[in-house]
Amino acid sequence: REAGRRSPVRGRGPTTQFHILGLLYVGSLAVYYGVDALVRLWQQRNIGAITSAAAFGAGALVAGILYVVHHILPDPEAYFIIPNSCFYCEPASLGKEIERYGRYWSGRTEELLIGLLAIGFAALRFRQSDRHYLLLVAGFVLALGVVSPPTQLRYSLHGWPWIALGAGGLFSVDLRGWQQWARRVPVREALVVAGVGALLFAQWGLFDHYREHPNRYKLPETRAHVQSLDLPRETVILTLTPFYEDFLAYPNFLSWSGGERYGMELRGETYTDLLERERPTVIISESQHSELLGYMERHEFVPVMQGLFMHPELCAVGYCAG
């Protein structure tokens, strides 16, 4: 607490229940409470100084036991199938972390820049609440490097709450603190100029090597064409996971790139086994995967337009025309 205000770190406990990367927040809080306990113990020379850290540790232990009982013990093989057979996971390394922030910079430049400015301003003001914030962010960055999720942008977005909190802190200063901090005008102006310069520099292609091209923007005309065909509701459409929202009317929708791969791993299947069992008749894909191409060749799929292939039975009733 500071001046009677509640700490912003309260209420993070349930996050791991919703996504395993909630561990990043647990790690951030562990660093926060660990450093806080060491500082208090050094200052007070009293074991009672670690009460907050001990309470956090006890709560984390209880939550961890409940998580194991609820999520892992019912089917350990299914739970660990993703980390044990992740198709695009790489071991933790400095190069991987550089790539992670490069992707974030190229994909969410303004967002990351706001976060960097928030950290810079907090370091300049360095009030008690700023120190808390900086410690939490440092803990999160450390946890991110240790847990080391894939570098795709969607995994880095878990840091957004800290960016939002820091952005709010840019404008959350009492009048006296603002007057004291505002005397450092040259430093403040330098930060602003550096921020604007970095934003402009980003637009010149910095980290373009890491720029992602989301699948949801691919083949818009093809997807629109299939939507306009009014296919039978039971049609099995095979395409990319992000296109699911385009085909909500088709309950047999099949994702080529989603979680099916892990279900296949559990069932000991190949893609060929999956395709022959589910028998998709509409395929929206530009993939050159050998098993997919083999399936289309065996069943004599007809190319209709860019990225669209249909089973001859659908063509026989006019769905391939035009």
Q: Using one digit for the tens of pLDDT, what is the confidence trace for 84-140?
A: 777 667 788 888 888 888 888 777 777 888 888 888 888 887 888 888 899 999 999
Q: Which tokens belong to 249?
A: 């009317």
Q: What's the rounded Cα separation, in Å, for the pair 291 and 277? A: 14
204 pLDDT more than 70: no
What's the confidence (pLDDT) of residue 1? 38
Average pLDDT in the chain:
79
Q: What's the rounded Cα separation, in Å, for the pair 31 and 136? A: 7
User: Which of the four pLDDT bands, split at 50, 70 and 90, describes residue 179?
Assistant: low
Question: Residue length, the chain?
Answer: 322
Q: Which tokens belong to 41?
A: 């113990």
Q: What's the rounded Cα separation, in Å, for the pair 309 and 301? A: 6
Q: Which tokens belong to 219?
A: 């083949």
Q: Where are the beta strands (DSSP E) in the chain?
A: 237-239, 254-255, 282-284, 302-305, 308-310
Q: Which tokens belong to 214?
A: 């989301």
Mean pLDDT, to the nearest integer, of 184-190?
56
User: Which of the four pLDDT bands, split at 50, 70 and 90, describes residue 3?
Assistant: very low
Residue with tokens 């998580």: 67
149 pLDDT more than 90: no
Q: What's the rounded Cα separation, in Å, for the pair 203 and 261? A: 37
Percent of the chain with pLDDT over 90: 21
Virtual CA dihedral for 163, 99, 257, 237, nearest 10 degrees?
70
What's the confidence (pLDDT) of residue 23? 83
Exposure letters 242-259 (e unless 16+ CB within 10 A, then b): ebbebbeebeebbbbeee
Between the two ends of the chain, the Cα-to-Cα distance in Å is 67
| Angle (CA) 223 245 16, round 5° | 140
> Position 156: which residue type?
S
Question: How many CB atoms sit inside 10 A of residue 236's CB?
Answer: 18
Spacing of C-alpha 42 from chain mean position: 38
Q: Using one digit for the tens of pLDDT, what is the confidence trace for 219-267?
A: 888 999 999 999 999 999 999 888 888 899 999 999 876 667 777 888 8
- List residues bridging with 309 in a β-sheet: 283, 303
Quote the pTM value. 0.65
Percent of the chain with pLDDT over 70: 77
Q: Using one digit for the tens of pLDDT, what is the confidence trace for 58-88?
A: 888 888 898 889 888 988 887 887 777 776 6
Q: Specify the higher pLDDT residue, 157 or 145.
A: 145
For residue 289, give the DSSP letter.
-
Contact between 16 and 28 (Cβ < 8 Å): no
User: Which of the four pLDDT bands, split at 50, 70 and 90, describes residue 4?
Assistant: very low
Task: Name which of 58, 49, 48 is nearest 13 in CA terms.
Answer: 58
Q: Specify the higher pLDDT residue, 90 or 201.
A: 90
What's the confidence (pLDDT) of residue 36? 85
User: Which of the four pLDDT bands, split at 50, 70 and 90, describes residue 175?
Assistant: very low
Q: What's the rounded Cα separation, in Å, for the pair 303 and 296? A: 10
> Position 281: which residue type?
T
